[in-house]
């Protein structure tokens, strides 16, 4: 099953992946990372289609996509 | 090998090639043009790189890149061009890269003129670029020595990972003298030299090797780390000061009543004057610093004989080395200076007259 | 499960020091991927500039040099000439490349140095706090053009791709944008081609990225892309200006 994961270590919460996702299944986490950012997270993994749009747009190379 | 009659500018270029220098980047300027032209002619014949850069600034940064890749590399210029190179020289020193820079000095400031001068002593010895660093500065006084210094300069640069400047002048650059070259390095020796810095330089990963990530860099935003780096450089400089001081003594004896200090071209003229005075029974010694940094302070102190009543500094500038002589002498005897500027070279008769007035 | 997209090995584990949403990171990733895909990690070396990407030498996982401001093409020239068996690129911003380093880039291009130059154009000096760049748009306000860039006084922005395309030697010159996933996919192709040509030692390759500066423009990362699309792209038209490897080059849309 397709899956996207964000590494909170790299994420700066810019939101570009949220805007890029065609399925609208990425949001800011309620948690913050050690830099103080609300990092991005996928909250409906089952709807991910592994299109890589999030990976493509992420400026911090924080995203891994699996299929 | 037989002696060849050659201009200093050409001799140093030939000697650099024989020392294994296969990369040369520079921009034309008088009075060093024979050097860049010799390199343009000879580098292709030995499979080396000659590149006429768009500016002195670009040339010194090409040197930074090639030195960062661990290869013997040289640039040359004359005073105004050396000023342009100062940014790059500071970066090369900060990144601890080996490189050789030749300055064939001319009169300044500004565009000045194209006659010989020694007016870049401060720039070469006391800084030049920004930040805490030293160049190792070698000052020849003959075409032979100019040529010999090329291989010394590369050896010192490689040994200490520091830029070395050969501080020559328009007289030595343009003058022809017989010169005997050391044997040229073999291709095998050059290959070995080219790989001597692979522990830190820009170089390919050998197949099967663990990948390296070498950084050629002078930037460190953490003050404590930068402090450590600068202190490390100064520990290195302390070793250079201990091991690499060079000077020539001429006619120095306990009979000396005057001790001269002069470097480079100026020292040749002082020697002639000393020889004339000798005929009159007047004893004058000369200390000629060969390394301007590290400076031969101790040699000057040692050379002050029991009868010396005057230390006399002669330079083709307004007295830029004078302070260093005073530091060495520490008030033991009076220190005087006389020099010529604007690209005018003093004559032996003028020096003789100045010295005779001391007796 | 198979990993189909992940951080390339050609990037170190060090997080980028860029502001949130800054597209430098996308440009870095595209370059890193192209190097990985061309199998060049063992023969690659890069030169970092002065500016926001001054720390690029910490981010690429191979040998890197940090150059003085604007001098990266000269440093890269020295490196490539010293080690012709290696492949060298520079990474430069608009102040670095199009202002203080104009001579170095023009002459490296004119010599046809076998380098790739990656040029990030976001119309502003980022690191020093949003001053006017040579690429700042007419009437655009920055901290050193507080009343807007007055073209009568300071001139028009410099179009580097167009300028370099007047030279004979450059092998490949293309401007791309990083303002959406679709544009990034196009940019990836261009970067891949530049690195491929570099691997084959074909000549001088130049990629300009139209990018953003959310922090100094004062616009959030998502909207800053719209601002760039509306304001930068009409002046800095994307397209291929030179490709000696292709017979038919479309050229830029007029």
> Are B204 and C61 an interchain contact pair (Cβ–Cβ within 8 Å)?
no
> Are A50 and C22 an interchain contact pair (Cβ–Cβ within 8 Å)?
no
Q: Are B173 and B103 in contact (CB under 8 A)?
A: no
Q: How many CB pairs under 8 A join B and C?
A: 135
The pLDDT confidence band at residue B258, using thresholds 50, 70 and 90, is: very high
**ipTM of this predicted structure:** 0.96
Q: Which of C25, C31, C58, C60 to mutate to test the interface with A (most CBs of A within 10 A)?
A: C25
C208 three-class SS: strand
Tens digits of per-residue pLDDT, B72-109? 999 999 999 999 999 999 999 999 999 999 999 999 99
H or E stretch including B217?
Answer: none
Specify the pLDDT at position B209: 64
C23 phi and psi angles, rounded to 5 deg = -85, 0
Distances (CA, A) of B223 to B126, B127, C183: 24, 21, 41
Distances (CA, A) of B342 to B78, B109, B313: 15, 9, 18
Structure-block tokens of residue C53: 């990407």
Q: Are B118 and B141 in contact (CB under 8 A)?
A: no
Tens digits of per-residue pLDDT, B109-142? 999 999 999 999 999 999 899 999 999 999 999 9
Q: Is residue C176 assigned to a domain?
A: yes
Instruction: Give the pairing of strands C44-48 and C63-66.
Output: parallel
Q: Is residue B212 assigned to a domain?
A: no
* Chain B CB contacts of C127 below 8 Å: none
Percent share of chain B, pLDDT over 90: 97
Residues B21 and B141 reside in one and the same domain: yes
Distances (CA, A) of C32 to C57, C181, C191: 12, 17, 10
Q: Which of C13, C75, C113 to mutate to test the interface with B (most CBs of B within 10 A)?
A: C75
Tens digits of per-residue pLDDT, C32-52? 999 999 999 999 999 999 999
Which of B25, B68, B71 lies at the smallest CB-CB distance from C65? B68
Query: SS3 sequence, C102-156?
Result: HHHHHHHHHHCCCEEEEEEECCEECCCCCEECCCCCCCCCECCECCCCCHHHHCC
Which of C2, C18, C222 lies at the smallest CB-CB distance from A66? C2
Specify the pLDDT at position C251: 58
> How does DSSP classify residue C98?
I
Residues B267 and B186 reside in one and the same domain: no
Q: How far apart are CA B110 and CA B61, in angstroms?
A: 22
A33 three-class SS: coil
Q: How far apart are CA B73 and CA B53, in angstroms?
A: 14
Q: Do B and A make contact, counting contact as 3+ CB pairs within 8 angstroms?
A: no
Q: Is residue B39 assigned to a domain?
A: yes
> Are B214 and C64 an interchain contact pair (Cβ–Cβ within 8 Å)?
yes
Tens digits of per-residue pLDDT, B114-123? 999 999 999 9
CATH code of residue B158? 3.40.50.970
Residues B190 and B254 reside in one and the same domain: no
Tens digits of per-residue pLDDT, C71-101? 999 999 999 999 999 999 999 999 999 999 9
Specify the pLDDT at position C254: 45
Residues B28 and B164 reside in one and the same domain: yes
Q: Crossing angle of helices B33-42/B8-18, nearest 10°?
A: 40
Average pLDDT of every residue of chain B: 97
**pLDDT over 70 at B207, yes or no:** no
Q: Is residue B96 assigned to a domain?
A: yes
Q: Tell me yes or no: is domain A3-66 CATH 3.30.70.20.
A: yes
Specify the pLDDT at position B210: 72
Q: CB-based contact (8 Å) between C33 and chain B?
A: no
Residue C133: domain span:
24-243
Residues B274 and B158 reside in one and the same domain: no
Of C28, C186, C47, C27, the C-alpha closest to C116 is C47
Tens digits of per-residue pLDDT, B21-63? 999 999 999 999 999 999 999 999 999 999 999 999 999 999 9
| Subunits close to B (at least 3 CB pairs below 8 A) | C
* Chain B CB contacts of C101 below 8 Å: none
Q: Do B and C make contact, counting contact as 3+ CB pairs within 8 angstroms?
A: yes
Q: Is residue B329 assigned to a domain?
A: yes
Q: Is residue B190 assigned to a domain?
A: yes
Structure-block tokens of residue C254: 């007029």
| Subunits close to C (at least 3 CB pairs below 8 A) | A, B
Q: Are C205 and C117 in contact (CB under 8 A)?
A: yes
Domain range list for chain A: 3-66
Task: Return per-residue pLDDT of chain C as tens, 254 residues.
Answer: 899 999 999 999 999 999 999 999 999 999 999 999 999 999 999 999 999 999 999 999 999 999 999 999 999 999 999 999 999 999 999 999 999 999 999 999 999 999 999 999 999 999 999 999 999 999 999 999 999 999 999 999 999 999 999 999 999 999 999 999 999 999 999 999 999 999 999 999 999 999 999 999 999 999 999 999 999 999 999 999 999 998 766 555 54
Q: How far apart are CA B353 and CA B227, in angstroms?
A: 51
Q: Is residue B207 assigned to a domain?
A: no
Q: Is residue C31 assigned to a domain?
A: yes
Of B31, B108, B173, B82, the C-alpha closest to B341 is B108
The number of domains in chain B is 2
Q: How far apart are CA A52 and CA A67, in angstroms?
A: 10
Q: Is residue B201 assigned to a domain?
A: no
Q: CB-based contact (8 Å) between C16 and chain A?
A: yes
Residues B146 and B280 reside in one and the same domain: no
Structure-block tokens of residue A66: 């699996």
The number of domains in chain C is 1
Q: Is residue C94 assigned to a domain?
A: yes
Q: Is residue B55 assigned to a domain?
A: yes
CA dihedral (B34, B36, B40, B43) in degrees, to 10, reads 110
The pLDDT confidence band at residue B206, using thresholds 50, 70 and 90, is: confident
* Chain B CB contacts of C47 below 8 Å: 65
> Are C42 and B73 an interchain contact pair (Cβ–Cβ within 8 Å)?
no
Residue B337: domain span:
248-356
Structure-block tokens of residue B157: 């640069």
CATH code of residue B262? 3.40.50.920
């Amino acid at each position: 099953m397709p899956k996207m994961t964000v590494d909170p270590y790299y994420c700066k919460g810019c939101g570009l992946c949220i805007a890029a996702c065609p399925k609208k299944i990425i949001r800011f986490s309620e948690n913050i990372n050690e830099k103080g950012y609300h990092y991005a997270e996928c909250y409906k993994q089952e709807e991910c289609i592994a299109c890589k749009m999030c990976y493509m747009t992420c400026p911090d190379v924080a995203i891994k996509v699996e299929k | 090998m037989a002696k060849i009659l050659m201009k200093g500018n050409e001799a140093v270029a030939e000697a650099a090639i024989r020392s294994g220098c296969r990369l040369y980047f520079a921009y034309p300027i008088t009075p060093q043009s024979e050097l860049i032209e010799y390199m343009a002619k000879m580098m292709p014949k030995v499979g080396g790189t000659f590149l006429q850069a768009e500016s002195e600034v670009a040339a010194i940064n090409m040197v930074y890149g090639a030195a960062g890749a661990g290869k013997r590399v040289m640039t040359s210029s004359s005073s105004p061009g050396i000023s342009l190179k100062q940014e790059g020289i500071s970066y090369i020193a900060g990144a601890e890269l080996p490189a050789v820079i030749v300055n064939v000095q001319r009169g300044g400031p500004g565009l000045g003129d194209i006659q010989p001068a020694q007016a870049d002593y401060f720039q070469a010895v006391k800084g030049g670029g920004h930040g805490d660093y030293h160049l190792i500065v070698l000052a020849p006084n003959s075409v032979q020595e100019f040529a010999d210094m090329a291989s010394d300069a590369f050896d010192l640069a490689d040994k200490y990972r520091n830029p070395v400047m050969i501080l020559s002048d328009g007289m030595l650059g343009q003058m022809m003298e017989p010169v005997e070259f050391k044997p040229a390095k073999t291709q095998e020796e050059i290959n070995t030299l080219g790989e001597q810095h692979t522990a830190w330089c820009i170089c390919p990963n050998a197949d099967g090797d663990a990948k390296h990530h070498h950084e050629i860099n002078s930037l460190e935003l953490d003050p404590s780390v930068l402090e450590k780096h600068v202190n490390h450089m100064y520990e290195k400089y302390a070793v250079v000061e201990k091991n690499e001081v060079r000077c020539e003594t001429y006619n120095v004896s306990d009979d000396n009543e005057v001790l001269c200090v002069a470097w480079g071209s100026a020292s040749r003229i002082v020697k002639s004057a000393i020889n004339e005075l000798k005929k009159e029974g007047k004893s004058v010694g000369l200390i000629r610093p060969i390394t301007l940094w590290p400076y031969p302070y101790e040699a000057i102190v040692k050379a002050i004989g029991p009868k010396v009543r005057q230390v006399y500094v002669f330079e083709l500038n307004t007295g830029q080395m004078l302070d260093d002589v005073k530091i060495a002498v520490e008030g033991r005897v009076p220190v005087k200076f006389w020099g010529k500027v604007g690209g005018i070279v003093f004559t032996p008769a003028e020096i003789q007259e100045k010295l005779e007035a001391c007796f | 499960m198979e990993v189909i997209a992940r951080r390339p090995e050609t990037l170190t584990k060090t997080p980028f020091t860029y502001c949130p949403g800054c597209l430098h990171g996308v440009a870095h990733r595209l370059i890193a991927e192209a190097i990985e895909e061309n199998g060049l990690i063992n023969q690659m070396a890069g030169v970092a500039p002065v500016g926001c990407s001054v720390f690029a030498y910490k981010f690429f996982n191979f040998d890197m040099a940090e150059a003085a401001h604007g001098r990266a093409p000269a440093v890269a020239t020295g490196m490539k000439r010293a080690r012709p068996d290696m492949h060298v690129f520079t990474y430069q911003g608009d102040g670095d490349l199009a202002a203080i380093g104009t001579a170095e880039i023009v002459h490296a291009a004119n010599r046809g140095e076998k380098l790739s130059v990656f040029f990030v154009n976001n119309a502003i000096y980022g690191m020093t706090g949003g001053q006017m760049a040579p690429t700042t748009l007419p009437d655009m306000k920055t901290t050193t053009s507080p009343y807007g860039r007055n073209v009568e006084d300071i001139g028009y922005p410099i179009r580097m791709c167009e300028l370099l395309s007047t030279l004979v030697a450059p092998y490949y010159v293309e401007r791309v944008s990083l303002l959406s996933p679709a544009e990034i996919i196009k940019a990836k192709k261009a970067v891949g081609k530049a690195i491929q040509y570099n691997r084959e030692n074909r000549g001088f390759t130049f990629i300009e990225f139209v990018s953003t500066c959310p922090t100094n423009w004062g616009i959030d990362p998502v909207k800053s892309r719209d601002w760039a699309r509306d304001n930068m792209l009409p002046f800095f038209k994307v397209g291929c200006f030179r490709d000696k490897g292709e017979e038919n080059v479309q050229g830029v849309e007029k």
